[in-house]
Amino acid sequence: MRLLKEAKVAGKTVLVRVDFNVPLKNGKIADDKRIRTVIPTIEYLRKKKARIILISHLGRPDGKVVDDLRLAPVAERLSKLLKYPVHYEPDCIGSDVEFAVRGLHEGDVLLLENLRFYPEEEKDDLNFASKLALPADVYVNDAFAVSHRAHASVHAITNFLPSYAGFLLEKEVKMLSGLLKSPKHPFIAIMGGAKVSDKIGVIDNLLKKVDAILIGGAMMFTFYKALNYEIGKSKCEADKVALAKSLLKKGKKRIVLPIDVVLSNKRVVPADKMPKNDAGLDIGPETQMIYSEMIKKAKTVFWNGPMGLFEQKPFDRGTMAVAKAMSECKGVTVVGGGDSVAAIEKAGLEKKFSHVSTGGGASLEFLEGKKLPGIEVLD
């Protein structure tokens, strides 16, 4: 990829695609992690005396102006984090934007309005992209989380400006590429969450590279069903049972399933002895011990998805056991996926990992081996 460090940005106007799709509660930012992750790129550009224009989406306004999804609160929070005033413009294209850009001094930061207020953004519209590019000299993509989308601000825009990868995007690609190209062994992947269907491609691709895939979360019941186990009232993707069966056949002993389950009444039962009238909500204590030992001995670990209903005690124990074991692992540890990230933050362990990906769906597609449009155009 063409990297920001290689770009001539001194005194230039630099358009930076960021991911400020942050959760809002009563008009206030509930979690500013996505804002904090791009500060190194912004600070670097400020030191280089560039004029910085930031563009992002927020939520799903479906091509219409939605006042609750304006980026003004983000500009306010970013000002506090940078300890420098961030200008905000309530549009992202047009004469008002051009006028605001002309007023910028070296090192100034301007945040434009929600890109998805325009339907052209999600249509990868060339004309819209040219209008976004108009006031800038250089384009930087620092929004890995949307780089799996061929949208105008990620893909089409590179037709109009010299384009580079920002520091966050560079780090994401470097860490995730390392998992696929040169992982140290033993390499353990941990897959949780509700649906096997969300993780099929990743499991399939990682099976060629890992020593073991540890399964948890509601998806384990789809695998149990494939083994003809009783799963009671547990969540299961009935239409994916055949697929789970084929993954078990392909993975052989490398796909590791929990040996005990915590039921909704908090009772622990062996995985093959579940009652008909109850549901499993977490991996059991024996499984937690087995998984923890495997994780601690690994040289490379990737984790996506919680082990149970982690938002509710005591069904967070499996997820917390995995988080703790990973934090004690001496190898390379990478976490991806919103719920897994939320779990390690809840445990206060985020600083103990080699890399915490903010990529979500983009991380999974990357690990499936898919080409991401926003990254391909930076080659």
Residues marked as catalytic: 34, 195, 338, 361
Q: Distances in Å between the alpha carbon of 120 and those of 114, 150, 168, 174, 188? A: 12, 12, 26, 31, 41
Closest CA to 352 of 343, 363, 361: 343
Q: What is the CA radius of gyration of the chain?
A: 22
